[in-house]
Structure 1
Amino acid sequence: MTNYKTIVFVHGLHENAESWKSWKLFFEKTGYECHTPNYPFHDGIPDELRQNPNRELAKIRMNDVVNHYVKFIDSLGGVIPILIGHSMGGLIVQKLVHLEKGLLGVCITSASPKGVLSFKWSFIKSNWGAINPFKGNSLYCGTREWFHYAICNTLTRQESDEIYEKDVVPESRNIPRSSRFGDGMIDFNKPHKPLLFISAENDHIIPTSLNLKNIASYKDKHSIKDFKQFKGRSHSLCVQKGWEEVAQFIEYWLIKNTKI
């Protein structure tokens, strides 16, 4: 069942649905029914999760998260929703669109599928801590210093620390690791529903060049794939000052593409 007014938001790594609070309110005010489900073992207040994480989280791979969202979407009574994802959530949106579980897909500073790589130093430096193979199945929770460099590099350290306190949660290393292998595979030749890729000009952890490689990988000439870069922003553009501009652009794109 097609429903142009239902949105499922997909958060990224190192965060949970708390990060979508303002976006949920924004889109609800414009008439959308919004859902913000968490990844498995991500439910709770971020500060409390940092102090007492669920150790089962360490076992979770990317496909476990994808299947979790498939089950949630299937519980919506046949509704095929709009999908909006940030960071790893953007890659999960790509996977869900590939599985025909989304009406439209918005991928904000999206992690890339298998085989789509960046060799920029900022990308390697920002991601190494989480995927480090020498750390086994231990949970990862980056430091405030890492967070400022990788996620909030256009903000002051104080602004970055405030976002860290509010949003950051411990994470499974096996989600990003598995995304580099079979769990992150996309058939780029397959026709797909409209996709919008949004990048942040000064993003360290997901540089614009990686977003552009991701878009260029999709080969079907009849499928819509659009791109928008926001100047002067970092990876935290969904929560930093001016996030409303990003949300408004997405709203206009949704209106345009649900009329096709």
Structure 2
Amino acid sequence: MSLPTPVVMIHGLWIHSDSWQNWMEVYRQAGYQPLAPGWPGDGGTVAATRENADAVANHGIEEITEGYRRVITSLDSAPVVIGHSFGGLIAQKLLAEGQARAAIAIDPGQIKGVKPVPLAQIRSGLPVLAHPSNKKKAVSLTRDQFHYGFGNAIPEAESDELFERWAIPGPGRPLFEASTANFSKASPAAVDTKNGDRGPLLIVGGGKDHTVPEVVAEAAYKLYADAEATTDYKSFPDRGHSLVFDHGWKEICQFTLAWLESQGI
């Protein structure tokens, strides 16, 4: 009897890994083996991470990716990787490296080669990027900043509730690395988009997303145009950056399950 396929769920900046709880239950019931490890320095809970914010400071994209590589090497078989926001960037890196059998990148942080920089994205990143000293620090969003970047497509009361439940300090370094990726020869945000030997990839975009506007997700998808491996794109026009953990999470979750089934996984 074969073992269940592992599914590694990778959270994004400013959100704790416990935000995947609903997804993990659905995937478990569907016969997968889900796990949601945190980034380096994350505490075991939201409260613990908030209490020790300095522990998450100064971790960059490569160090965070390496943490997930170590998780994958401990598994019995190659996993599916599902990432949200910066987790979507990391999921693409892991897939291109052959670390995963398939990947789903939801509202993914911009990889090297993505050129659009919409004003909404600039405003979402300003809490970090406006102060160069934040590169080595941990940065927390305010309730209003969270509502603009994550919760703009849902009622403000729900956004505030999600902020209290899941928001954590995050390292500033990944944002600086992603924002300068196109000017760096050895950027940690680089992904081998031409690798035709990788597993299938699904990119998901949210039409109302401020943190990763859909034009950014679409631009990432277009970078894979010459790859022989499967690359699919799905848009959810009315969804913002909170789409994986707000009241509409199940629609996104069920779509990803159906997509994996369509890929024979």
Q: TM-score range by the shorter chain?
A: over 0.9
Q: Deviations over 1:81-102 (max 9, x none)?
A: 0111100000000010111101
Which of 189, 195, 201 matches 1:190? 195
- For 2:61 and 2:55, how far apart are their aligned partners in 1? 14
**Residue equivalent to 2:69:** 70
Q: Provide the aligned length of Structure 1 versus Structure 2.
A: 256
Contact 1:152/1:160 (<8 A) preserved = yes
Q: Secondary structure at the match of 1:222?
A: coil
Contact 2:4/2:31 (<8 A) preserved = no
AA aligned to 1:212 is E
- In the TM superposition, residue 133 of structure 1 has moved relative to its aligned partner by 4.2
Asked whether 1:58 is paired with 2:30, we answer: no
**Residue equivalent to 2:184:** none
**Residue equivalent to 1:225:** 231
**Residue equivalent to 1:99:** 97
Moved more, 37-46 or 143-152: 37-46
**1:207–1:3 distance in 2 versus 1, CA, 3 Å:** farther
- For 1:27 and 1:56, how far apart are their aligned partners in 2? 30
TM superposition outliers: structure 1 runs of 4+ over 6 Å? none
**Residue equivalent to 1:257:** 263
Contact 1:7/1:33 (<8 A) preserved = yes
Q: Secondary structure at the match of 2:209?
A: coil
**Residue equivalent to 2:142:** 143
- In the TM superposition, residue 4 of structure 1 has moved relative to its aligned partner by 6.6
- For 1:186 and 1:231, how far apart are their aligned partners in 2? 26
Q: Secondary structure at the match of 2:139?
A: coil
- In the TM superposition, residue 3 of structure 1 has moved relative to its aligned partner by 6.8
**1:68–1:221 distance in 2 versus 1, CA, 3 Å:** closer
- In the TM superposition, residue 152 of structure 1 has moved relative to its aligned partner by 0.6
Q: Deviations over 1:185-219 (max 9, x none)?
A: 11222223211011111111111111110010114
- For 2:146 and 2:84, how far apart are their aligned partners in 1? 16
Which of 221, 233, 237 matches 2:243? 237
- For 2:109 and 2:147, how far apart are their aligned partners in 1? 18
**1:107–1:230 distance in 2 versus 1, CA, 3 Å:** same
**1:163–1:219 distance in 2 versus 1, CA, 3 Å:** same
**Residue equivalent to 2:115:** 117
AA aligned to 1:252 is A
**1:4–1:31 distance in 2 versus 1, CA, 3 Å:** closer
- For 1:232 and 1:253, how far apart are their aligned partners in 2? 20
**Residue equivalent to 2:106:** 108
- For 2:56 and 2:4, how far apart are their aligned partners in 1? 33
- In the TM superposition, residue 163 of structure 1 has moved relative to its aligned partner by 0.1
State percent identity of aligned pairs: 28
AA aligned to 1:38 is G
Asked whether 1:206 is paired with 2:212, we answer: yes
- In the TM superposition, residue 258 of structure 1 has moved relative to its aligned partner by 2.2
Structure 1 unaligned blocks of 5 or more = none
AA aligned to 2:214 is T
- In the TM superposition, residue 107 of structure 1 has moved relative to its aligned partner by 0.4
Moved more, 33-42 or 126-135: 126-135
- For 1:189 and 1:227, how far apart are their aligned partners in 2? 16
Structure 2 unaligned blocks of 5 or more = 182-186
- In the TM superposition, residue 122 of structure 1 has moved relative to its aligned partner by 0.5
Moved more, 173-182 or 57-66: 173-182
